[in-house]
């Protein structure tokens, strides 16, 4: 009996995976439409390419019965020939919020589970990319934020960034599987949910169709620019930790490069959670110097004296003479 032809949506997902399936694959699968379609398409693509594939379901323990959901997803995948493992994580309290803490815990668990030769596939779609760009725009945090999610970073690969969420949902229907619907995806207290349910549909209604695709294109263009600027900044040698950064040297850099160089220098000195506002305050020590005493940042205190900028522990101490 001839094999049943793949439906158009399933074929699109399989082809997206085939474009990156040059190594064994570990698919992160929550059981939702995007990741379930990805896992099953990866199973097909891996068979065609002669590589191994398996799945990992991360149980964050944030909802009652999450362990049951994870076990059910693993059974569903096993019934389709995809071996799966459930990874249980603890999500700590974080000033960045539950979503960010859960993401960090999930990625750490996936990296720990992955074998040395495996790529970790993530099910983010073009819709997710559009949401990410809008959130970055709302934060006003610069080109890198507008660049969205990369197709590949280290062992993490997002093969579905060119596909819409409607296609992954249709692929699940074509494959005859029922995805799990995460109730958190309908919780308006989450900013991303409001963007997905309210902001993007409003933009589509008021500005016309194609907004999500336009935002995804913006991400690609911004990423190219940000990558170049990051490389130019990385080529600039930083002073040794504990040494001052010459004001004249910094002031002579183009603003787009200077901000990146400052961020790298401050991080090396121990600064954390740097925002654009923090960097603007430090930049003012260069081009708007009025004898201000210092700038407090998370983890460090930056002062200007002796023709240089000094980044020192924010613990009160002795500071030398100012310019």
Please tell me the distance from the alpha carbon of residue 190 to that of residue 192, in angstroms, as a whole number.
Answer: 6
CA torsion through residues 266, 274, 125, 30, sign: positive
208 assigned to a ligand binding site: no
Asked whether 226 and 143 are in contact (CB, 8 A), the reply is yes
Between the two ends of the chain, the Cα-to-Cα distance in Å is 85
Strand partners, 27: 55, 121
Tokens at residue 182, please? 């995460």
Asked whether 177 and 80 are in contact (CB, 8 A), the reply is yes
32 assigned to a ligand binding site: yes
34 assigned to a ligand binding site: yes
Please tell me the distance from the alpha carbon of residue 244 to that of residue 303, in angstroms, as a whole number.
Answer: 10
33 assigned to a ligand binding site: yes
- Stretch (H or E) spanning 26: strand 25-28
Please tell me the distance from the alpha carbon of residue 165 to that of residue 69, in angstroms, as a whole number.
Answer: 21
CA torsion through residues 40, 104, 94, 84, sign: positive
Which of 98, 103, 88, 37 lies closest to 58 in space, CA to CA?
A: 88
30 assigned to a ligand binding site: yes
Exposure of 102 in the CB half-sphere (CA atoms within 13 A): 11
Residue numbers belonging to the annotated binding site: 30-35
| Binding site members for ATP | 30-35
């Amino acid at each position: 009996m001839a094999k049943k032809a793949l439906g158009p949506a399933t074929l699109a997902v399989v082809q997206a995976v085939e474009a990156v399936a040059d190594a064994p694959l570990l698919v992160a699968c929550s059981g939702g439409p995007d990741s379930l379609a990805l896992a099953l398409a990866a199973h097909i693509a891996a068979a065609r390419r002669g590589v191994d594939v398996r799945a990992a379901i991360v149980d964050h323990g944030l909802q009652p019965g999450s362990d049951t959901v994870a076990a059910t997803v693993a059974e569903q995948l096993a019934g389709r020939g995809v071996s799966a493992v459930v990874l249980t994580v603890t999500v700590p309290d974080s000033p960045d919020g539950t979503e960010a803490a859960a993401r960090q815990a999930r990625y750490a668990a996936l990296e720990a589970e992955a074998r040395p030769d495996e790529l970790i596939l993530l099910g983010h779609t073009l819709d997710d990319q559009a949401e990410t760009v809008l959130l970055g725009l709302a934060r006003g945090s610069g080109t890198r934020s507008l660049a969205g999610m990369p197709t590949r970073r280290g062992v993490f690969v997002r093969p579905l960034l060119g596909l819409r969420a409607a296609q992954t949902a249709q692929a699940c229907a074509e494959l005859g599987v029922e995805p799990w619907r995460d109730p958190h995806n309908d919780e308006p207290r989450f900013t991303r949910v409001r963007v997905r349910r309210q902001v993007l549909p409003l933009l589509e209604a008021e500005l016309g169709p194609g907004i999500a695709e336009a935002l995804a294109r913006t991400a690609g263009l911004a990423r190219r620019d940000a990558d170049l600027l990051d490389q130019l900044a990385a080529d600039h040698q930083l002073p040794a930790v504990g040494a001052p950064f010459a004001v004249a040297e910094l002031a002579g850099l183009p603003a787009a490069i200077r901000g990146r160089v400052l961020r790298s220098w401050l991080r090396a000195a121990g600064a954390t959670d740097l925002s654009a506002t923090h960097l603007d305050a430090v930049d003012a020590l260069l081009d708007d110097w009025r004898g201000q005493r210092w700038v407090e940042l998370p983890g460090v205190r930056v002062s200007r004296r002796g023709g240089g900028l000094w980044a020192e522990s924010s613990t009160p101490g002795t500071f030398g003479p100012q310019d």
